[in-house]
Amino acid sequence: MPDSTKHNIPLRVRNLIRKAGTRKTKEIADYLQISIRVADLPSSINSFSATILKNRYICISDQLNEPIEQNKAICKGIGYFLIGGNEEELEHFENELYSQLLDGDLQSADNYLRIG
């Protein structure tokens, strides 16, 4: 596991979710004014992030059919814009954000089952 003290990744992820008011990747990207685009990319590329004329984009491959793959690619793209960093730090950010999103989904399901 990478040293997350440089960017304090767990704290930044928690604060991001709190400020965005959601645990949904596309809504978090929207909160950060990052556009999500789906495109025909080479099979070796799942996604990439770019800034074009001050507009920020996360482009994900149309071959990512599973919501898990799409969400993880968006999480990594969000990390690119928030912390930059090297590949190891981006993967740590991606995993931290994705696990927080899953925790929220599991809590929601648990609450639903208790109420229902």
Q: What angle do CA 14, 19, 20 make, to 5 degrees?
A: 100
Contact, 73 vs 95, CB < 8 A? no
Q: Report if residue 115 sits inside a domain.
A: no
Q: Residue 17: pLDDT above 90?
A: yes
When pLDDT is cut at 50, 70 and 90, the band that residue 79 belongs to is: very high
Mean pLDDT across the chain, nearest whole number? 86
Q: Report if residue 24 sits inside a domain.
A: yes
Expressed as residue numbers, the domain containing 53 is: 9-102
Q: Residue 110: pLDDT above 70?
A: no
Q: Residue 103: pLDDT above 80?
A: no
Q: Rg of the Cα trace of the chain? A: 15
Sign of the torsion angle spanned by Cα atoms 41, 39, 51, 24 = negative
Q: Report if residue 4 sits inside a domain.
A: no
Q: Report if residue 2 sits inside a domain.
A: no
Q: Residue 52: pLDDT above 60?
A: yes
Sign of the torsion angle spanned by Cα atoms 16, 20, 22, 23 = negative
Mean pLDDT, range 74-91, rounded to an integer: 92
Q: What angle do CA 102, 108, 110 make, to 5 degrees?
A: 100
Mean pLDDT, range 70-88, rounded to an integer: 92
Domain count, the chain: 1
When pLDDT is cut at 50, 70 and 90, the band that residue 107 belongs to is: low
When pLDDT is cut at 50, 70 and 90, the band that residue 114 belongs to is: very low
36: domain CATH number? 1.10.10
Q: Report if residue 83 sits inside a domain.
A: yes
Q: Report if residue 114 sits inside a domain.
A: no
Q: Report if residue 110 sits inside a domain.
A: no
Q: Report if residue 1 sits inside a domain.
A: no
When pLDDT is cut at 50, 70 and 90, the band that residue 84 belongs to is: confident
